[in-house]
Amino acid sequence: MTDLMTRPNPNDHDENSPGDHPDAGDNLNGPDDDSVTPPPPPPPPYGESSNPGRWPRRIAGGAAVLVLIGGGGVAGGAIADHFAGNQASPMSASSAGGSVVESNDLAAVVDKVQPSIVTVMVDGAQSSVLGSGVILNANGLILTNNHVIASGGTVSVRLSDGRTIPAKVVSADTQRDLALVQATGVSGLTPATFGNDDSVAVGDSVLAFGAPLGLANTVTSGIISAQNRSVNTGSEKLTGLLQTDAAINEGNSGGALVDLSGHVVGINVAIATASQTDQGSIGLGFAIPSNTVVNVVKQLQSRAR
């Protein structure tokens, strides 16, 4: 298996475009234990009942208003979230530069990115889990959160055009909460382009893509609210995260946080919630930065060879 994540061409950007970066989670220090919890799975797309008690991961509340919530494998970048066939360019970190579009041109960004986003479904013997994923290559290598697939079961992915494709787990990193899934028998898919999160600044506009509550092809908008956040998942601590106020809910886990050039700058992983019973977005979402993602995917691909 080769390095297949699509990155912007360094020759297209400024001369200071960086090369590979160390895993951001190893050298970025966030505030002390902003604890949070992975959310219960959204209702499965076909009306099946889910059992949140089967979810293995929790992200604890990082403030007085935050509480542990059942969940652990659903998608969508919420702390409550409870929380590359054809080869693309090598996975070297490069500048996410490029023309920045105006806010009234967000539809063009959505049109560019949406074909690269999928819904990830895991059907187990007693429960079903639903999350989101990002296409890494034309032959169906897909990135998602580990907690989306951790419960085990039959995996499938639903493409943006509505097709549902059988898939299998290729490799996973439990500490970084990332996993690779391979869709079977597909070609000609649209890989996402990953940007360099070093170019991201607080206040930058971003879009969050995924399937909150099972509603595929959903896009929300917001800004980067903060950087270098840390959240406690219970067994592991995720560090160096991007914080955003773009609405992220159950089912968004593993989906993309995208800048206005259409480059993925983060993978949604968790959200904060107001209470155990009210687990919707309160404008505190978290994403694994793209540089961390790129390095972890390289490692996962190496393991799978």
Would you name the residues annotated as active-site residues?
147, 177, 253
Quick check: 231 and 79 in contact, CB under 8 A? yes
Alpha-carbon distance of 144 to 269, in angstroms, equals 9
Which residue type occupies 186? Answer: V
CA distance 134 to 178: 11
Contact at 8 Å (CB) between 173 and 147?
no
Query: Of 40, 24, 8, which Cα lies nearest the Cα of 178?
Result: 24
Distance, CA of 287 to CA of 135 (rounded, Å)? 17
**Which neighbouring-strand residues pair with 133?**
118
Given a contact cutoff of 8 angstroms between Cβ atoms, the answer to whether 52 and 40 are in contact is: yes
Q: Which residues pair with 86 in a beta bridge?
A: none
Q: What is the DSSP letter of 250?
A: T
Single out the residue of 213, 219, 116, 191 nearest to residue 160, CA to CA: 116
User: Computed from CA positions of residues 116, 120, 152, 174, in that sequence, does the dihedral angle turn out positive or negative?
Assistant: positive
Tell me how crowded residue 173 is: count the other CB atoms within 10 A of its CB. 15
What is the residue type of 87? Q
Cβ atoms of 182 and 167 within 8 Å: the answer is yes
Query: Token pair of 57, please?
Result: 């991961």
Q: Measured between alpha carbons, how far is residue 167 from residues 73, 74, 205, 268 in Å? A: 17, 17, 33, 21
CB atoms within 10 A of CB 140: 22
